[in-house]
């Protein structure tokens, strides 16, 4: 379901996609997109995870992740609480949402635009993200609100403004 199609069923909750970013290479600069194709079991077309790169594909100790999400509200709180002003995409997450409590979606399937994803775990920030973002307190600012790792279970297009439905 995207932001322009049918309304969600009664009892469901909705938020929205605020931004989309892909980083073609590990450590590469995130690139903003208006929309992106989410491919089940692979990731977002043009992103490092889709190409088999990225920390989740390169580190055997980590559960693979196709896509990462973060709340716009968490970024706003990081700026207010720590003066950590992340440039768009600098947080290294693919999809920025609004109105979605991502921490509650671990183990849950939900729709992001035209794709179905399943939350696999919290995406806690690390020193590597902090150094790439150029935010000295970036990891502390996003601790326990760093977003969600997810796998794509049904392919579809995700666009800015699309609904997030759970």
- In percent, the amount of the chain with pLDDT more than 90 equals 53
Specify whether the CB–CB gap between 155 and 38 falls below 8 A.
yes
pLDDT of residue 143: 81
Provide the mean pLDDT of the chain: 86
- Whole-model pTM? 0.85
Tell me the pLDDT tens digit for each residue of 94-146.
Answer: 999 999 999 999 999 999 999 999 999 998 776 566 556 666 676 777 887 88
Query: Residue 11: pLDDT band by 50, 70, 90 thresholds?
Result: low
How far is Cα 103 from Cα 119, in angstroms, rounded to an integer?
Answer: 9
State the pLDDT at residue 89.
84
The CATH class for the domain spanning 14-165 reads mainly beta
Phi (first) and psi of residue 32, to 5 degrees: -75, 145
pLDDT classification of 67: cutoffs 50, 70, 90:
very high
Tokens 């399937």 map to which residue? 109
Residue ranges of domains in the chain: 14-165
């Amino acid at each position: 379901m995207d932001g322009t199609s049918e309304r969600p069923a009664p009892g469901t909750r909705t938020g929205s996609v605020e931004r989309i970013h892909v980083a073609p290479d590990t450590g590469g600069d995130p690139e903003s997109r208006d929309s992106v194709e989410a491919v089940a079991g692979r990731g977002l077309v043009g992103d490092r995870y889709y190409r088999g790169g990225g920390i989740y594909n390169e580190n055997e100790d980590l559960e693979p992740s196709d896509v990462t999400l973060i709340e716009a509200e968490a970024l706003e709180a990081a700026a207010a609480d720590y003066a950590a002003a992340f440039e768009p995409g600098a947080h290294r997450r693919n999809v920025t949402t609004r109105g979605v409590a991502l921490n509650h979606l671990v183990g849950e399937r939900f729709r992001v635009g035209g794709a179905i994803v399943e939350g696999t775990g919290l995406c806690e920030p690390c020193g590597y993200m902090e150094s790439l973002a150029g935010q000295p307190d970036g990891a502390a600012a996003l601790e326990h609100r760093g977003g969600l790792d997810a796998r794509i279970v049904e392919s579809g297009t995700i666009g800015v403004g699309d609904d997030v439905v759970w």
